[in-house]
Structure 1
Amino acid sequence: MLDTLIFLLERLFLLAHIKLSSLLPPHAKDSARCEREDPPGGAQRFQRGDLLEVPRTLFTHFGIYLGENRVAHLIPDILPALTADSCQIQEMVTNTRLLLGVLSKRASVRVDSVEDFAYGARILLNAMDGAVRSAPLPAEEVARRAERLLGGVAYSLLWNNCEHFVTFCRYGSAQSLQTDQFCAWLKSLIRDRRNVAVTALLGLLSMVCLGVSSGTALPTLLIPFTLWMAS
Structure 2
Amino acid sequence: MLDALGYLLDKVLLFLVTCAPADVAPPLERTYRRGDLLEVPRTLFKHFGIYLGDGRVAHLIPDILPAVTSDARHLRCKVSNTRLLLGVLSKRASVRVDSVEDFAYGASVRLNAHDMESAGGGCRDAEEAARRAERLLGSVPYSLLWNNCEHFVTWCRYGDARSLQTEQFCQWLKSLIRDQRNVALAALLGLLSLACSGVSSGTALPALVVPLTLWMAS
CA distance in 2, matches of 1:120, 1:132: 31
1:137 corresponds to:
124
Matched, 1:184 2:171: yes
2:108 corresponds to:
122
Identity score, percent: 70
CA distance in 2, matches of 1:97, 1:144: 27
- How many angstroms does 1:79 deviate by? 1.4
1:89 to 60, 66, 75: 75
CA distance in 1, matches of 2:45, 2:147: 15
The count of aligned residue pairs is 205
Contact 2:78 2:102 in 1 (8 A): yes
CA distance in 2, matches of 1:85, 1:132: 42
Matched, 1:52 2:48: no
- How many angstroms does 1:100 deviate by? 1.1
Which SS does the other structure have where 1:127 is aligned? coil
2:144 to 133, 157, 164: 157
Q: Which AA in structure 1 matches 2:211?
A: P
- How many angstroms does 1:132 deviate by? 4.4
Which SS does the other structure have where 1:157 is aligned? coil
Structure 1: where are the runs of 5+ without partners?
15-32
Deviation larger for 58-67 or 154-163: 58-67
User: Superposition pairs for residues 28-67 of structure 1, below 5 Å?
Assistant: 38-40=26-28, 42=29, 44-67=30-53
CA distance in 2, matches of 1:82, 1:135: 38
Structure 2: where are the runs of 5+ without partners?
18-22
Which SS does the other structure have where 2:40 is aligned? strand
2:157 to 170, 175, 192: 170
> What TM-score comes out, normalization by structure 1 length?
0.81
1:145-190: per-residue Cα shift (whole Å, max 9, x none)?
1111111100000000000000000011011111011101100110
Contact 2:150 2:162 in 1 (8 A): yes
Contact 1:146 1:169 in 2 (8 A): yes
